[in-house]
Amino acid sequence: MEKGCAPHQEISEKETDPRAADIPTTFCLPAGIPLLTISSVAYPSKIAQQPDLIVILYEWFGEVHQVFLDGRTLSADPNPTWLGYSTARWDGDTLVVETTGFNGKAWLDAAGHPATEALRIREQYHKRDFGHLDVMLTIDDVKAYTKPWTVTLHLHLLPDTELF
């Protein structure tokens, strides 16, 4: 299979981590929510909101994350996918997104932190001011980690920027 689908995939043959050549995106497979969200630091994403649906478009790999904001609950038995099944609610001025239903094939980051089908992700989006969005991701995967852990990102908002 041809390599080079994503900019970070120019892996040297002398790469010190032998798993680096196995990252799913090397084979043009989806990145998964944590890696896509973390990549928003370097690659633009766009959030489009309707009253009952939010769609996050990621320039990196062209992925689309659908988040239902219509009051539905997470499915007890979702069809497993790379990006899972997401619902959201507002907690004051913070958007809280809960996602389950992962297929367990995506890496959480480019370093190879694994995820299983038991993965649950909680994302909290807070617009700090006109130009800044704070995102807190909590990873909870009882089959891969002993306790939940959190990553916080501080993103710059560029409202007039278009995705390529």
- pLDDT 10s digits, 89-148: 999 999 999 999 999 998 888 788 889 999 999 999 999 999 999 999 999 999 999 999
Phi, psi of 156 (to 5 degrees): -95, 130
Instruction: Please report where in the chains the tokens 């219509």 appear, as a residue.
Output: 70
Distance CA 38, CA 157 (A): 14
**41-74 pLDDT, tens per residue?**
778 888 999 999 999 998 877 889 999 999 999 9
Looking at residue 161, its amino acid is: T
What CATH number has the domain spanning 20-156?
Answer: 2.40.128
Where do the structural domains in the chain lie, given as residue ranges? 20-156
